[in-house]
Amino acid sequence: MIRVGVNGYGTIGKRVADAVDAQPDMELVGVAKTQPNFEAHTAVQRGYSMYAAIPERMPLFAEAGIDAEGAVDEMVADADVVVDCTPSGIGADNKALYESHDTPAVFQGGEDADIGDVSFVARANYDDALGADYVRAVSCNTTGLSRIVAPLEEEYGVEKVRATLVRRGGDPGQNSRGPINDILPDPIDIPSHHGPDVRTIFPDLKIDTLGLKVPATLMHVHSLNVTLEDDVTAAHVRQLLEAESRVFVISEGMGIDGAGKLKDFAHDAGRPRGDLWENCVWGESIAVEGRDLYLFQAIHQESDVIPENVDAIRAMTESASKAESVATTDEYLGVGITGDPSGFGGEDRSDRVPGTELADD
């Protein structure tokens, strides 16, 4: 069993903890939090050991009725791997702590690329992370772009990628963010940082990205153009993407016209938190003009990186091959939508929320 600690229990951390907890070859040592807010209470309810990310705040947890096991460094010492899910920039501050305990760590995409030995998307470069001490699971948008580029590059060759990322202004809980009733080029200067970030995964890729922010919270939507090296048909590309376990090709008859209905679909299917770990590509949007491929995809910013974090742990510990790890993560998390409206992942998961099992122990 790989013993995993999760430092930071917010939007990403709580999902990583649940995903780790659901894996057959991993054990969740515990989670570390800065404050005993609602998420801390849920963690306790799920049976997760709680550690104080700021040791001086231990009494705060006690006051809130939460018995913290100890301070974060105890969790780090006890873990084979730590997944750092703290806010952007804090991960860099935490690296010294992990180094002092010789504990390998996964960082998130908000950190600079040089925080890790390798930036990581399982589909694209799993093997680069084999045995690595520090790995950066790239951001939601970079993950989403890389999952499309990888099969296209392998199958047809990619001449150039041009992508406009229509980004949600903030997550549903980030109620002090904007915009309201505006469409903001963000950043105004072109290209955005996303293209260079994808090049941490595909160093030789030609890619230009443009970013905007709009008054929506549910998912990002990418308007994607890929100039391919081969002549292809839209039908062939669709078939290729449908074969990817972490790409959900939305079929026309499902009546899914946006992120709202995608989330409804995920909630109806009993997915934890209505998460959509897969790129959600509109099948009817897949179009080819000459060697120019176009498509729209929606990216769930809160959850698409979760399977990647789990795979990174196996690569770093060299405990599974790429194929084995991806298959295990997908099976135990429930990744993979067949397009069959009867459910996700080929089985009814409506009674199963990762992590809840422990709470009954």
Residue stretches of the annotated binding site: 11-12, 110, 139-141, 168, 194-195, 301
Burial profile 226-245: b = 16 or more Cβ within 10 angstroms, e = fewer: bebeeebebeebbebbeebb
Q: Is 221 in the site for a copy of itself (CB under 8 A)?
A: yes
Q: Is 84 helix (H, G, I), strand (E, B) or coil?
A: strand
Check: CB of residue 331 under 8 Å from CB of residue 354.
no
**What residue numbers does the annotated binding site for D-glyceraldehyde 3-phosphate cover?**
139-141, 194-195
Taking the least distance from each CB to a copy of itself, the nearer of 109 and 283 is 283
Taking the least distance from each CB to a copy of itself, the nearer of 122 and 212 is 212
Taking the least distance from each CB to a copy of itself, the nearer of 283 and 336 is 283
Binding window for a copy of itself (CB under 8 A); candidates: 96-104, 124-132, 207-215, 320-328 = 207-215
d(Cα 185, Cα 167) in Å, to the nearest integer?
Answer: 10
Among 42, 296, 321, 322, binds a copy of itself (CB under 8 A): 296
Among 47, 70, 170, 179, binds a copy of itself (CB under 8 A): 179
Q: Is 216 in the site for a copy of itself (CB under 8 A)?
A: yes
CA distances from 26 to 271, 291, 299 (A): 21, 44, 27
Q: Is 168 in the site for a copy of itself (CB under 8 A)?
A: yes
Catalytic residue check, 140: yes
Q: Is 215 in the site for a copy of itself (CB under 8 A)?
A: yes
Task: Please list the alpha-helical segments (H only) found in the chain.
Answer: 11-22, 38-45, 58-63, 72-78, 90-100, 122-125, 140-155, 194-198, 234-242, 259-268, 306-316, 322-333, 356-359
Find the length of the chain: 361
Helices (H) and strands (E) in the chain, counts: 13, 16
Which spans of this chain sit near a copy of itself (rule: CB under 8 A)? 160, 162, 164, 166, 168, 179, 181-186, 188-191, 208, 210, 212, 214-221, 223, 225, 257-260, 282, 284-287, 289, 292, 294-296, 298
Which of the residues are catalytic?
140
